[in-house]
Chain A
Amino acid sequence: MTEPLVVLKDVNKHFGDLHVLKDINMEIGKGEVVVVIGPSGSGKSTLCRAINRLETIESGTITIDGKTLPEEGKALAHLRADVGMVFQSFNLFAHKTILDNVTLGPIKVRKQKKGEAEKRAMELLERVGVAHQAQKFPAQLSGGQQQRVAIARSLAMDPKVMLFDEPTSALDPEMINEVLDVMVSLAKEGMTMVVVTHEMGFARKAANRVVFMDDGQIVEQNTPEEFFTNAQSDRAKDFLGKILTH
């Protein structure tokens, strides 16, 4: 493994009485693609959201590129700019055009010139295949298109690491692949990625490592081939049995 970019150390979190993250320890190397899978309620989304502090943690530390996540305020905003996030429900800014969605961060956070930001945004939109929709509003696009715009919006910030929180779960089946294709090409280019997903095909094709979570703990982690063909824990075998038989 290369030098760790994201390090989680003894991370704990409760939702009320529910212990959703139990002593999580994890390192993600530069350029590594980690797929997090597990049954719903296992804490995998919470883990993903904790990495850019959309969820607070109660104990433990999370460091990104050597810097510990700050509590709140400007320093946190600064750090978040380096961490891309793609949500299950896309979350494009509903009152802004596709182009403005992609340029908002570069202009306001990175202080780029408008022309410069728009040029780069168009390149990114071209890359994810929605450049011709640049002047439309999010509600006029299909789910798959919106999610690809969301990926372009994150890429526009030149993030060090990208988090994907079930990026294809809200999509119609025929749109899933267009999003996964973009993600696979990102992975091939060496982007560091943490992907929470149920797409086993993506895990097989693009992941360096699969992390299996259950009940707030990391139960086991391995390479995709090893994990899918030779899972060690009963819990993982049971889970794989349920999802792979159909």
Chain B
Amino acid sequence: MQEILSDYDVLAAFWGTIKLSILGTIGALILGTIVAVLRLSPVRVFQWIGTWYVNTFRNIPLTLLMVFSILGLTFILGLQLNSEDISSNVFRWAATMLAVYHGAFICEALRSGVNTVPVGQAEAARAIGLTFGQSMRHVLLPQAFRGSIAPIGSTIIALIKNSTVAAVIGAGEAANLMSVVIENEGSRFSVFLVFAIGFVILTLPLGLFFTSLSRRLAVKR
């Protein structure tokens, strides 16, 4: 275990995981909120688009999305997120696909949060003359966010672990380094242990944090 930590830059690899996770989380939160608003809007076409998004990206394996981003979008369609640097292009696509995929789950977590908000809250918001957008922004979403902190937390933890899938396209993160180490050193128990502990260190405190946050911010009714 010692020589793995000294021979390979494990910390840098996990730093890659952290960066990928942070970018993916920010993207997923933004996309998820937009899609949730689409699904909750009174306009039928918007609802369809939102539903289509969730059904599509929740049901395609993340591995396929990752591979598609490089083989399909970069190689065949020539869509590059950084045309100068291949590894940066791969990294950005990996973050994008993490965001796109988990956005669908964030959307559903938010919708479940919206369901914790009684119908009367929306009616009262409309009754004082707030528009759909205003009642979303000032009344429904703030309460929905508080009600969905726990499921959003679970989604973010899943996202951190799912960032390992980015290894299939060779993005610089922990799982990518792990496959390199295994190739060089052979598969040993200690290799798995190092990386497993790394992920537990990242996700366990996050889980505790989200649990306490959801308790503290719960809307009293």
List 16 contacting pairs A-B, 8 Å CB cutoff, sorted by A: A74-B131, A80-B126, A80-B128, A81-B128, A81-B129, A83-B127, A87-B120, A87-B127, A89-B118, A91-B118, A93-B124, A95-B219, A104-B128, A104-B139, A105-B130, A109-B134
Among B120, B129, B142, B219, the one with the most A-chain Cβ atoms within 10 Å of its Cβ is: B129
Query: In the complex, are the beta carbons of B124 and A109 less than 8 A apart?
Result: no
Q: Does A210 contact B (CB under 8 A)?
A: no
Q: Does B146 contact A (CB under 8 A)?
A: yes
The 7 A-B residue pairs with the shortest CB-CB distance, nearest first, are: A81-B129, A105-B128, A91-B124, A91-B120, A139-B220, A85-B127, A109-B129
Q: Does B42 contact A (CB under 8 A)?
A: yes
In the complex the two chains form, what is the Cα distance from A94 to B142 in whole Å?
10
- Chain A proximity of B127: nearest CB distance (Å): 4
Q: Does B125 contact A (CB under 8 A)?
A: yes
In the complex the two chains form, what is the Cα distance from A214 to B127 in whole Å?
26
Q: Say whether, besides A94-B220, A108-B138, A54 and B123 are in contact (CB < 8 Å).
A: yes
Q: Does B143 contact A (CB under 8 A)?
A: yes
In the complex the two chains form, what is the Cα distance from A80 to B125 in whole Å?
10
Q: Does B221 contact A (CB under 8 A)?
A: yes
In the complex the two chains form, what is the Cα distance from A157 to B134 in whole Å?
16
Return the contact of B42 from the options A72, A78, A81, A108 (Cβ within 8 A). Answer: A72
Residues of chain A whose beta carbon lies under 8 Å from any beta carbon of chain B: 52, 54, 72-74, 77-85, 87, 89-95, 104-105, 108-109, 137, 139-140, 150, 153-154, 157
**A95 neighbours in B (Cβ, 8 Å):** 142-143, 146, 219
Query: In the complex, are the beta carbons of B120 and A154 less than 8 A apart?
Result: no
Return the contact of A109 from the options B120, B121, B130, B221 (Cβ within 8 A). Answer: B130
Query: In the complex, are the beta carbons of A78 and B129 less than 8 A apart?
Result: yes
In the complex the two chains form, what is the Cα distance from A108 to B128 in whole Å?
10
**B42 neighbours in A (Cβ, 8 Å):** 72
Return the contact of B123 from the options A87, A92, A109 (Cβ within 8 A). Answer: A87
In the complex the two chains form, what is the Cα distance from A109 to B131 in whole Å?
9
Query: In the complex, are the beta carbons of A157 and B129 less than 8 A apart?
Result: yes
Residues of chain B whose beta carbon lies under 8 Å from any beta carbon of chain A: 42, 118, 120-121, 123-131, 134, 138-139, 142-143, 146, 219-221
Query: In the complex, are the beta carbons of B138 and A94 less than 8 A apart?
Result: no
In the complex the two chains form, what is the Cα distance from A91 to B121 in whole Å?
6
In the complex the two chains form, what is the Cα distance from A80 to B118 in whole Å?
20
- Chain B proximity of A112: nearest CB distance (Å): 13
Query: In the complex, are the beta carbons of A94 and B129 less than 8 A apart?
Result: no
Look across to chain B and name the residue whose beta carbon is closest to the beta carbon of A88: B120
Query: In the complex, are the beta carbons of A54 and B128 less than 8 A apart?
Result: no
- Chain A proximity of B70: nearest CB distance (Å): 43
Among A90, A94, A140, A157, the one with the most B-chain Cβ atoms within 10 Å of its Cβ is: A94
**B146 neighbours in A (Cβ, 8 Å):** 95
In the complex the two chains form, what is the Cα distance from A154 to B126 in whole Å?
12
- Chain A proximity of B180: nearest CB distance (Å): 49
Query: In the complex, are the beta carbons of A93 and B125 less than 8 A apart?
Result: yes
In the complex the two chains form, what is the Cα distance from A84 to B124 in whole Å?
10
**A54 neighbours in B (Cβ, 8 Å):** 123, 126-127
Query: In the complex, are the beta carbons of B221 and A157 less than 8 A apart?
Result: no
Query: In the complex, are the beta carbons of A137 and B220 less than 8 A apart?
Result: yes
**B130 neighbours in A (Cβ, 8 Å):** 77, 104-105, 108-109
Query: In the complex, are the beta carbons of B220 and A154 less than 8 A apart?
Result: no
- Chain B proximity of A207: nearest CB distance (Å): 22
**B127 neighbours in A (Cβ, 8 Å):** 52, 54, 80, 83-85, 87, 154
**B221 neighbours in A (Cβ, 8 Å):** 94, 139
**A139 neighbours in B (Cβ, 8 Å):** 220-221
Q: Say whether, besides A74-B131, A89-B120, A108-B138, A94 and B143 are in contact (CB < 8 Å).
A: yes
In the complex the two chains form, what is the Cα distance from A81 to B126 in whole Å?
8
In the complex the two chains form, what is the Cα distance from A139 to B121 in whole Å?
14
Query: In the complex, are the beta carbons of A77 and B129 less than 8 A apart?
Result: yes
In the complex the two chains form, what is the Cα distance from A81 to B143 in whole Å?
23
Among B128, B130, B146, the one with the most A-chain Cβ atoms within 10 Å of its Cβ is: B128
- Chain A proximity of B198: nearest CB distance (Å): 37
Q: Say whether, besides A94-B220, A95-B219, A77 and B142 are in contact (CB < 8 Å).
A: no
In the complex the two chains form, what is the Cα distance from A78 to B129 in whole Å?
6
